[in-house]
Amino acid sequence: MTPEGFKDWRKSLGLKQKEAADKLGLKKRVIQYYEKGHRDGKSVAIPKNVELACVALALGYEAYDGAVIAPRGVEAEMADASQES
């Protein structure tokens, strides 16, 4: 995820930096570093776990309760199959 992509994600959810930080369990300053892409002249990479958390939040998951989540497309196939029966 690029710094621009991260900022676009936040804005697409209508979140302020502080709100995004709270949802991701981070400090606001870290969000600012991710959006800039650097800190003190050094590159700042957005960790994979943060990227995945962004996807989860974009899909409406605020917390994970351990339930099995069907892979993308499987739910539609199951619905189609039940209608054919």
pLDDT tens digits for 1-13? 999 999 999 999 9
**Percentage of residues in the chain having pLDDT higher than 90:** 69
For residue 69, list its beta bridge partners: none
pTM assigned to the model: 0.77
Convert the pLDDT of each residue in 24-43 to its tens digit: 999 999 999 999 999 999 99
Q: b/e map of 8-26 (b: 16 or more CB within 10 Å)? A: ebbeeeebebeebbebbeb
- Residue 71 confidence (pLDDT): 75
Which amino acid is it at 38?
H
Q: Which domain holds residue 42?
A: 3-84
The CATH code of the domain that includes 41 is: 1.10.260.40
Domains held by the chain: number: 1
Q: Is the pLDDT of residue 85 over 70?
A: no
